[in-house]
C-alpha cells in the first residue's frame, strides 16, 4: 500500500471513529424548535372550543388569533448527542442553548414541568382579568397561598389554598397590599395574618424571619392573586405550559365578548405574557415562534416590545411584525391594521 493510500485510510478510520463517538456522546445542550400553533378562536385537539365562555353573550369569529409554542429536544435523562447539536447550530429554525437555560441545576425536570403548568394556569387567570378589565367588566381579587416554605414560620400553620384576608387587622384583597404591609415590618417583628380555610375564618400571629436574600422580613409563604369573575371562562390547551400565550388569550376573550371581529379575515399569530393590568411582557424562543406562525399561515405576528430587536433581525419573509406594549394598545393596533385607519406600531 502506498503512503498516500495509507494516509487516506487512516484519515477515513479517524473520521468514522469520530462519527461514532459524536453520535453517542451526550452534550449538556437543548435544541429549541418551532412548535405547534393553536387558534384561540378555534377548537382544541378534542374538538372542544379552546376558550369557552358561559353566562355571558358571546359573538362568533371564524378568524385566527394563534398562540405559538416552542418544542425542545434534550435535557437531563435524555440529552442530545454532539451531532444533533451541530446540526441544530447549522439549521436556521433551531436554537441550541445550554441545558441550564431550560433546566436549572437545582430543579428536577419534574419540577420544571410543574412550574410550567403553574405558569400556564396563572397566565390564563391574568389573561381573563386583563380582558375583562379592558372591557370595563368588574373583577374581584383575593390572595391565596400557593406554597409554604419548609422550616419557615408559616410551616405547619398555613396551608396551600388558604385565603389571606388581613394583615395586622387591615383587610387585603391583592398581593400588592400584603407585600406593602409586610415591607413595613423589620426582621424579628410579629405579624398577624387573618385567613380563611374551608370557609372558616381564623387568625395567626407569626414572628418574621429574613428572606433568603436577608433584606426583608417574611414568614415563608408563597402567595398569588386569584380572581373572581362574574361569569365562567374555560381555557383548554392540554399539556402546554408556560406563560407566553397570555396576550393571545386576552385578545380572544375580548373578541368573543364583543360584536364584530378583531381579525377581519387576517391570519394573526403572536406571543407575550400578560399581567392583570394588561401589560405585555417578553418571552423566549421568539425566532422559533415566528417560524411556526409563518408555517401555519400567519401574515401578522404580535411581538412584545422587548422582543422586537431579535424579532426584526430574524423575521421570516411574508410576516409583518406588530409591536405589542399593552393589551389596550394591541387592540387599537389590530383595529388600525384591519381597517386601514390609524397608525400600527411595528418592530421595524
- For 148-197, the DSSP string reads E-TTSTTBTTB-TTPEEEEETTEE--SHHHHHHHHTTPPTT-EEEEEEEE
Cβ distance 53 to 253 under 8 Å? yes
| Residue 33, pLDDT score | 83
Q: Which fold has domain 32-81+112-137+231-339?
A: Ribosomal Protein S5; domain 2 (3.30.230)
| Residue 274, pLDDT score | 95
Residue 12 exposed, middle or buried by CB count within 10 Å (0-12, 13-18, 19+):
exposed
Let me know if 159 is a catalytic residue. no
| Residue 17, pLDDT score | 44
Let me know if 244 is a catalytic residue. yes
Choose among 215, 106, 213, 223: nearest CA to 154. 223
| Residue 27, pLDDT score | 67
Q: Which fold has domain 140-228?
A: Pdz3 Domain (2.30.42)
Instruction: Pick the catalytic residue from 123, 256, 289, 305.
Output: 289
Locate 91 and state its grid cell.
439549521
Sorted by where each begins, the domain ranges of the chain are 32-81+112-137+231-339, 140-228
Choose among 141, 162, 140, 142: nearest CA to 206. 162
Instruction: Pick the catalytic residue from 126, 244, 256, 305.
Output: 244
For the chain, 348 residues long, give each residue's pLDDT as a single digit of tens: 555 555 555 455 454 445 555 555 666 777 778 999 999 999 888 888 999 999 999 998 889 999 999 887 766 666 766 666 667 667 677 777 776 666 677 666 677 777 777 888 888 999 999 999 999 999 999 999 989 999 999 999 999 999 999 999 999 999 989 999 999 999 999 999 999 999 999 999 999 999 887 778 999 999 988 898 999 999 998 878 888 999 999 999 999 999 999 999 999 999 999 999 999 999 989 999 999 999 999 999 999 999 999 999 999 999 999 999 999 999 999 999 999 888 999 997
Query: From residue 241, how far is each of 38, 70, 125, 245, 246 by CA, in Å?
Result: 13, 10, 14, 9, 11
Amino acid at each position: 500500500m502506498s503512503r498516500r493510500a495509507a494516509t487516506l485510510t487512516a484519515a477515513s478510520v479517524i473520521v468514522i471513529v469520530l462519527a461514532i463517538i459524536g453520535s453517542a456522546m451526550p452534550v449538556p445542550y437543548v435544541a429549541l424548535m418551532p412548535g405547534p400553533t393553536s387558534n384561540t378562536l378555534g377548537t382544541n385537539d378534542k374538538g372542544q372550543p379552546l376558550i369557552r365562555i358561559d353566562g355571558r353573550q358571546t359573538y362568533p369569529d371564524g378568524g385566527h388569533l394563534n398562540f405559538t409554542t416552542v418544542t425542545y429536544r434534550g435535557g437531563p435523562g435524555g440529552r442530545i448527542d454532539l451531532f444533533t447539536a451541530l446540526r441544530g447550530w447549522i439549521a436556521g429554525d433551531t436554537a441550541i442553548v445550554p441545558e441550564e437555560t431550560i433546566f436549572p441545576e437545582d430543579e428536577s425536570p419534574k419540577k420544571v414541568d410543574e412550574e410550567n403548568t403553574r405558569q400556564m394556569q396563572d397566565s390564563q387567570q391574568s389573561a381573563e382579568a386583563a380582558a375583562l378589565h379592558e372591557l370595563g367588566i368588574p373583577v374581584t381579587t383575593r390572595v391565596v397561598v400557593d406554597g409554604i416554605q419548609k422550616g419557615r414560620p408559616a410551616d405547619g400553620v398555613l396551608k396551600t389554598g388558604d385565603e389571606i384576608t388581613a394583615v395586622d387587622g387591615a383587610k387585603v384583597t391583592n398581593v400588592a397590599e400584603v407585600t406593602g404591609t409586610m415591607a413595613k415590618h423589620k426582621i424579628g417583628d410579629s405579624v398577624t395574618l387573618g385567613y380563611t380555610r374551608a370557609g372558616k375564618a381564623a387568625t395567626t400571629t407569626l414572628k418574621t424571619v429574613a428572606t433568603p436574600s436577608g433584606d426583608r422580613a417574611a414568614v415563608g409563604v408563597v402567595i398569588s392573586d386569584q380572581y373572581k369573575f362574574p361569569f365562567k371562562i374555560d381555557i383548554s390547551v392540554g399539556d402546554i405550559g408556560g406563560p407566553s400565550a397570555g396576550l393571545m388569550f386576552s385578545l380572544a376573550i375580548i373578541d368573543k365578548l364583543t360584536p364584530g371581529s378583531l381579525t377581519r379575515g387576517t391570519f394573526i399569530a403572536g406571543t407575550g405574557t400578560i399581567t392583570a393590568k394588561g401589560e405585555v411582557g417578553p418571552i423566549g424562543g421568539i425566532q422559533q415562534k415566528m417560524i411556526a406562525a409563518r408555517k401555519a399561515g400567519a401574515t401578522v405576528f404580535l411581538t412584545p416590545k422587548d422582543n422586537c430587536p431579535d424579532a426584526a433581525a430574524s423575521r421570516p419573509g411574508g410576516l409583518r411584525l406588530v409591536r405589542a406594549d399593552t393589551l389596550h394598545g394591541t387592540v387599537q393596533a389590530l383595529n388600525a391594521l384591519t381597517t386601514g385607519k390609524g397608525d400600527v406600531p411595528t418592530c421595524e
